[in-house]
Amino acid sequence: QVRLVESGGGLVQAGGSLRLSCAASGRTFSTYAMGWFRQAPGKDREFVATINWSSGTTYYADSVKGRFAISRDNAKNTAYLQMNSLKLEDTAAYYCAASSGRRAGSLSTTARYDYWGQGTQVTVSS
């Protein structure tokens, strides 16, 4: 069992930066792939970024590529999402998720993930 708690959301002006954190409980954190998703009001939850548990390989949605960076610190059981050059359209609730590898599908789909955090709100203003 893995429990995920996000933090770091808030209100930021367009062009600014935020860093989200995802603290995980459980001794097997280092064996889980981690992902970030977001959901704006009235829209489906969408993929943002993911990081492999072993090689640290990362993958991003086209909409955030070059602006966001996902990372992890296995010693601290924490995953991060550094968000730079924020745009109005980045406004959403952001969720971290953990994948044990037991579920099928791409790491860019919600179905692949076993555990989810409660979300943290990011609001970008003009």
Q: Tell me the average pLDDT of the chain.
A: 94
Q: Give the pLDDT confidence score for residue 30 in this predicted structure.
A: 81
Q: Is the dihedral of CA 83, 87, 88, 92 positive or negative?
A: negative
Rounded CA separation 13/90 (Å)? 11
Span 13-68, pLDDT tens digits: 999 999 999 999 976 778 899 999 999 999 999 999 999 987 789 999 999 999 99
Residues 6+ apart with CB under 8 A from 66: none
Sequence letter at residue 91: T
3-class secondary-structure state, position 95: strand
